[in-house]
């Protein structure tokens, strides 16, 4: 660079060739950066204006069951809880849990030694009374013959007859006592009341049991009853033969039933009303005392449904994209939903959309509110 003087005499610098070249390069780079930034902005705008290809399904109004699910308990209609009728010590347990038994099969034995001694004592007393009766009968026959011959007075005959009657009555009384003790002895052998499967056995050999001790249970396979407790607020809607469905954790129906009993009373503790529904359970998929989900069907109504794949969830709130006409284009708008139970592969919509709305069912993950969409077949 060389020094130069301007016409007014002021000194200045005149750029040489290399300096002018560097300045020209800076200007070109600035122009290119401006051009690229403008092009990028145009590209973003073009991308925003591009329609996203999606599949659209029109929301239909379909019949929907008005249902509520409750936790219920299954109870066998032919289940017998086995409790002893006498007190004593268990000396033998002849069955195991899960065994199938027939009526009269011996389940357990309670020590009968003391009762057997009582029965023996009663039988000995009865034998002695039989001897007394035989003697009284002989005396009555002898005096009857003498009275007929006029040898004894009628008073002696009456006394003999009274002694005979007393002996007969005492023998009958002893017969009843012996029979009672024998029946009592029978209770020391615990038997199955019906055909069924032996349940849990919480007692062991050597345990002392009373008449309130649970020994086991015998459950007859087959029919069960679902015990469902309905809040008292909904009790006015209860009717006999209302449909009830037994469902598993995935919402699949395991058994169909109907209300067979409605309690006339309200449970004072829980403020609920007990209803029962009978379940055939022919395949033995359900068990006695099992907790299950019972779906009470109150009635039917019509309403819109949306496919599960179209629904997204953010922060506990459900959303769906609806395609709406806007300035001649289809634009996606995100709408919050209030959903109910699932029916098949659809959610029942309680609030948020109406029949006829165009629901976007594919490409949802690529959409933002206000994006232009293009329906695809």
**Domain locations along the chain:** 53-78+233-377, 80-216
d(CA 277, CA 266): 18
- Return the top range by mean pLDDT from 34-48, 157-171, 209-223, 355-369: 157-171
What average pLDDT does range 227-246 have in this prediction?
94
For the purposes of burial, counting CB atoms within 10 Å of the CB of 218, is it exposed (0-12), middle (13-18) or buried (19 or more)?
buried
95: left (phi over 0), alpha (psi -120 to 50) or beta: beta
With 90 as the cut, is the pLDDT of residue 320 above it? yes
Of the ranges 185-189, 254-258, 343-347, which one carries the lowest mean pLDDT score?
343-347
**Cα–Cα distance, 219 to 80 (Å, whole number):** 6
Cα dihedral: 138, 141, 144, 150 (round 10): -80
Closest CA to 94 of 111, 105, 104, 107: 107
- Which residues sit opposite 319 in a β-bridge? 312, 336
- Identify the pLDDT of residue 77: 80
CATH class of the region 80-216: mainly beta
Decide the pairing of beta strands 329-343 and 346-351: antiparallel
Spatial contact of 98 and 211, defined as CB atoms under 8 Å apart: no
- What ranges in 71-153 are assigned the alpha helix state H? 113-148
Judge if pTM exceeds 0.95: no
Topology adopted by domain 53-78+233-377? 2.40.420
Quote the pLDDT of residue 11: 44
Note the pLDDT tens digit of each residue in 138-150: 999 999 998 888 8
Which residues of 77-202 form beta strands (DSSP E)?
A: 79-82, 88-93, 100-101, 106-110, 189-191, 196-198
């Amino acid at each position: 660079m060389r020094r130069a003087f301007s016409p007014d005499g002021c000194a200045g610098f005149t750029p040489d060739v290399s300096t002018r070249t560097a300045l020209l390069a800076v200007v070109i780079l600035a122009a290119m950066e401006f051009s690229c930034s403008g092009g990028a902005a145009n590209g973003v705008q073009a991308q925003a204006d591009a329609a996203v290809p999606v599949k659209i399904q029109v929301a239909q109004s379909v019949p929907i069951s008005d249902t509520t699910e409750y936790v219920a308990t299954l109870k066998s209609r032919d289940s017998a809880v086995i409790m002893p009728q006498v007190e004593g010590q268990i000396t033998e347990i002849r069955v195991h849990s899960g065994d199938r038994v027939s009526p009269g099969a011996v389940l357990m034995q309670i020590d009968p030694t003391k009762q057997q001694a009582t029965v023996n004592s009663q039988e000995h007393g009865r034998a002695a009374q039989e001897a007394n009766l035989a003697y009284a009968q002989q005396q009555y026959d002898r005096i009857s013959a003498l009275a007929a011959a006029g040898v004894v007075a009628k008073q002696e005959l009456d006394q003999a007859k009274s002694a005979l009657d007393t002996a007969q009555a005492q023998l009958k009384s002893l017969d009843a006592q012996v029979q009672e003790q024998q029946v009592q002895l029978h209770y020391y052998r615990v038997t199955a009341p019906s055909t069924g499967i032996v349940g849990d056995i919480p007692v062991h050999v050597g345990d002392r049991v009373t008449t309130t001790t649970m020994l086991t249970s015998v459950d007859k396979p087959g029919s069960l009853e679902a015990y469902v407790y309905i809040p008292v607020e909904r009790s006015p809607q209860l009717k006999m033969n209302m449909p009830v469905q037994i469902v598993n954790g995935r919402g699949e129906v395991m058994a169909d039933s109907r209300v067979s009993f409605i309690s006339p009373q309200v449970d004072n503790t829980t403020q609920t009303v007990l209803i029962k529904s009978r379940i055939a359970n022919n395949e033995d998929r359900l068990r006695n005392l099992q907790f299950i989900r019972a779906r009470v069907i109150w009635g039917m109504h019509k309403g819109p449904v949306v496919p599960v794949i179209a629904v997204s969830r953010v922060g506990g709130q459900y959303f769906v994209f609806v395609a709406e006409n806007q300035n001649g284009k289809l634009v996606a708008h995100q709408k919050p939903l209030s959903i109910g139970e699932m029916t098949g592969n659809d959610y029942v919509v309680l609030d948020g959309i109406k029949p006829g709305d165009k629901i976007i069912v594919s490409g949802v993950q690529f959409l933002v509110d206000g994006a232009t969409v293009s329906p695809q077949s």
